[in-house]
Amino acid sequence: MLDIECFSYINTALEDEFAPIVIMATNRGISKTRGTNYKSPHGLPLDLLDRTIIIKTEPYNENDISKILKIRSQEEETDFNDDALSLLTKIGMETSLRYASNLIAVSYQISKKRRSEKVEVNDVMRSYELFYDSARSVQFLEDNGNQYIDDDGNVKIGQKNEDQMDTSN
């Protein structure tokens, strides 16, 4: 997110004779403007917020996600059967459209390995198993955090876990 100095620059630019059109997107609620202790809607300074026109957006529904994924798969010159596209749509609804879009190429590569011209449900399922979305990645790190370097540079690899079986003797 931008800080108070960036917002000051934008405000100055908006006062110019040839003022630009500024388009910003945010998912922030009432939050601090970086570089200050003030809270405001969307983390924007109130003087800049007074100059804005806010456009309400809606989340994509299942039909929208399906259409977007179908167009994206056509652009990538991949052919999905209907069930595979339905599964990809479900994944997009439960995770994110970006993640589902990324699975198009992976699923296609898996189908090519099978020497298939069409991406099928098993290809999408395999790509989903191989590559984590952000929520599953976070869960994995929480479950296995002791195997990774922490903020202080410490790592606990090889330390005996209480749950590990005793293999001595």
Q: What average pLDDT does range 1-10 have in this prediction?
A: 89
pLDDT digit string, tens, across residues 17-41: 998 899 988 888 899 988 999 999 9
Whether the full predicted model's pTM is greater than 0.75, yes or no, is no
Confidence tier at 160 by pLDDT (50, 70, 90): low
Q: Which range of residues forms the domain containing residue 81?
A: 62-136
Number of domains in the chain: 2
CATH number at residue 102: 1.10.8.60
pLDDT for 151: 79
- Judgement on whether residues 118 and 93 belong to the same structural domain of the protein: yes
What local confidence, expressed as pLDDT, does residue 163 receive?
A: 58
**What does the H/E/C string look like for 42-58?**
CCCCHHHHCCCCCCCCC
pLDDT score, position 4: 92
Q: Do 42 and 70 lie in a common domain? A: no
Domain assignment present for 114:
yes
What confidence score (pLDDT) does residue 161 get?
53
Asked whether 157 and 147 are in contact (CB, 8 A), the reply is: yes
Can you tell me the distance from the alpha carbon of 32 to that of 30, in angstroms, rounded to the nearest whole number? 7
Give 82-120 as a DSSP string. HHHHHHHHHHHHHS-HHHHHHHHHHHHHHHHHTT-SSB-
Residue 32 within a domain: yes
Is 70 exceeded by the pLDDT of residue 167? Answer: no
* Together in a domain, 66 and 125: yes
Please tell me whether residues 18 and 81 are part of one structural domain.
no
The residue-averaged pLDDT of 117-141 equals: 95
Question: Rounded mean pLDDT of 76-87?
Answer: 96
Report pLDDT for 30.
Answer: 92
Q: Which residues are CB-contacts of 74 (< 8 A; sequence separation ≥ 6)? A: none
What proportion of the chain, given as a percentage, has pLDDT over 70? 92
My answer on whether 28 and 89 are in the same domain is no
Helix or strand holding residue 40 (H, E): strand 39-41
